Amino acid sequence: MPKKGGKHAEMEKELQAQCKRAKVEAACSLAVMSFESPDSLFGSLISPIKQEMFFREYWEQKPLLIQRNDPLLAAYYQSLFQLSDLKELCSQGLYYGRDINICRCVNGKKKVLNKEGKVNYMQLKKDFDQKKATIQFHQPQRFKEELWKIQEKLECYFGSLVGSNVYITPQGSQGLPPHYDDVEVFILQLEGEKHWRLYKPTVHLAREYNVESEDRIGNPTHEFILKPGDLLYFPRGTIHQADTPLGISYSTHVTISTYQNNSWGDFLLDAIPGLVFDTAKEDVALRTSIPRQLLMQVDIADSTKNLSSLLRRLADRLENTRELRSSDMKKDFIMNRLPPCLECDSDPLTPGGKLPKIDSKIRLQFRDHAIVTVEPDQDNSVSIMKPPSCAWGGSAGWGGEWRGMRETHMMGTEDDSTSEEGASQQTHGLRFPLSYLDALKQIWSSSTVYVKELNLISDEEKENLALSLWTECLIEVI
């Protein structure tokens, strides 16, 4: 038998400690947040506002302020992130710029006060106390499990990446000048109080971040104080600024954001090339040559009529198309989203139980993390994709892979060139002939299904499909 101790023993000890912390946190979170499903999580986040009302009256339209006087919810919010967490987090090796920014709004401009290299807690606290600097902590879900659980469920709910930043601002200070963002924003007040001012957008549903000057934004449309347990939502493009009032030692809030570059315009830019490629195979009009010297001309007015006609042909084709070819947006989402938070339960990560047979009843695992997509290549294949952190090669190493995916969530990549080839391979997931598409949809859309009822011609194909999915832990046998 292998000796106990060393790195494996340390990892086991760390996992046991994480399990104990998770149980303590769960006792509080169960009472105020519902993690039963993505839908229930979002419902509890914006409670008492109903989801139908939120999307009908507020989403992408106007701010929503939910002020609560709920001690239990306030205590739960505080557990998400506290000023006192910084000392222990700094000991894990945080870096200025990557993990933490130190900044202050001075004369309407953002002044960055970062040092070089690793963050020293004593220096950080000194800048906070003496320079009245705001501490901006990037993507705390990498370290805080409860935020991981919340954001993972929100990514499933929205079908879009969800990031977060924590802002800790001392009294009588402001970290950022008036500005607007290119994301939908949910702000949870964790500690202390924050004075907020919101202004009418100059660019509705903005596609980029921008700082606005005080003389351009006019008077606030909303002005209020956020207290622990309160929630604020506002659409992208909403101009805002916030400060910690005098008499409040400091304020801590987390900004949860989503829907960056996730508009119809972005989707069209992503999906149209595949549509053009497919249509050109069957429509000779799209294969005819452009006029001579068109690329040399400044004014192409003579060709716009022909372009309009071709676009109408594409629109007609789109109306009769069941499947759009896989897009980069979809791949970016599946490659960069958070893995599911399984806490201490590793059973779903290992194939086990009965092998699927023709008479077996099966059920899809990780439904919110499995995506069926038609690949844009010439062999007309269909894939079922899941995050690369789920280790396509087998069960060994899943836990470590998932941890790595969480630690890099929303942080970008340090070297895209070295990982491009591996990433492109992993996005394919499990590939099958296009004739398997209906059967994959059947598994994805059904709570349970018998292998023998899959929409494939032969029993051999049905069993092979079920076995392939079972081997990768995508299904379980009921």
| Residues 354, 234 share a domain | no
Number of domains in the chain: 3
Contacts of 249 (CB under 8 A, 6+ apart): 170, 171, 192
Determine the Cα–Cα distance for residues 19 and 313; give it in Å rounded to an integer.
Answer: 58
Instruction: Answer yes or no: is 209 within a domain.
Output: yes
Kindly provide the b/e burial profile for residues 154-190, where b requires at least 16 CB atoms within 10 angstroms of the residue's own CB.
Answer: bbbbbebbbbbbbbbbbbebbbbbbbbbbbbbbbbbb
Q: How far is CA 191 from CA 81, 142, 164, 195, in A?
A: 9, 20, 16, 13
Nearest to 157 by CA among 37, 255, 259, 58: 37
Instruction: Answer yes or no: is 337 within a domain.
Output: yes
**Radius of gyration over alpha carbons of the chain, in Å?**
26
| Residues 218, 280 share a domain | no
Helices (H), 370-458: 398-407, 416-428, 437-445
| Residues 250, 337 share a domain | no
| Residues 270, 249 share a domain | no
Taking only the tens of pLDDT, the chain with its 478 residues reads: 444 444 444 444 444 444 444 444 444 444 689 999 999 999 999 999 999 999 999 999 999 999 999 999 999 999 999 999 999 999 999 999 999 999 999 999 999 999 999 999 999 999 999 999 999 999 999 999 999 999 999 999 999 999 999 999 999 999 999 999 999 999 999 999 999 999 999 999 999 999 999 999 999 999 999 999 999 999 999 999 999 999 999 999 999 999 999 999 999 999 898 889 889 989 999 999 998 888 888 788 778 889 999 999 999 888 887 777 667 888 888 888 998 887 655 555 566 678 999 999 999 988 888 777 776 554 566 777 665 544 333 332 333 345 557 888 888 754 444 444 444 444 447 888 888 989 999 998 999 999 999 999 999 999 999 999 998 888 889 8
| Residues 343, 243 share a domain | no
Is residue 133 helix, strand or coil?
Answer: coil
User: Whole domain around residue 124: which residue ranges?
Assistant: 38-258
| Residues 270, 151 share a domain | no
| Residues 201, 64 share a domain | yes
What pLDDT score was predicted for residue 231? 98
Instruction: Answer yes or no: is 24 within a domain.
Output: no
Instruction: Answer yes or no: is 31 within a domain.
Output: no
Instruction: Answer yes or no: is 8 within a domain.
Output: no
What pLDDT score was predicted for residue 412? 77
CB 133 within 8 A of CB 104: yes
Nearest to 384 by CA among 395, 376, 374, 396: 374
| Residues 362, 217 share a domain | no
| Residues 341, 282 share a domain | no
Is residue 433 helix, strand or coil?
Answer: strand
Instruction: Answer yes or no: is 309 within a domain.
Output: no
What pLDDT score was predicted for residue 342? 72
Instruction: Answer yes or no: is 54 within a domain.
Output: yes
Instruction: Answer yes or no: is 16 within a domain.
Output: no
Domain endpoint, select from 258, 280, 303: 258
Domain endpoint, select from 239, 258, 277: 258
385: CATH:
3.90.930.40
| Residues 173, 124 share a domain | yes
Q: Where are the beta strands (DSSP E) in 95-226?
A: 100-106, 109-112, 134-138, 162-170, 179-180, 184-191, 194-199, 210-211, 222-226
Q: What is the pTM of this model?
A: 0.83
| Residues 466, 345 share a domain | yes
Determine the Cα–Cα distance for residues 228 and 224; give it in Å rounded to an integer.
Answer: 13
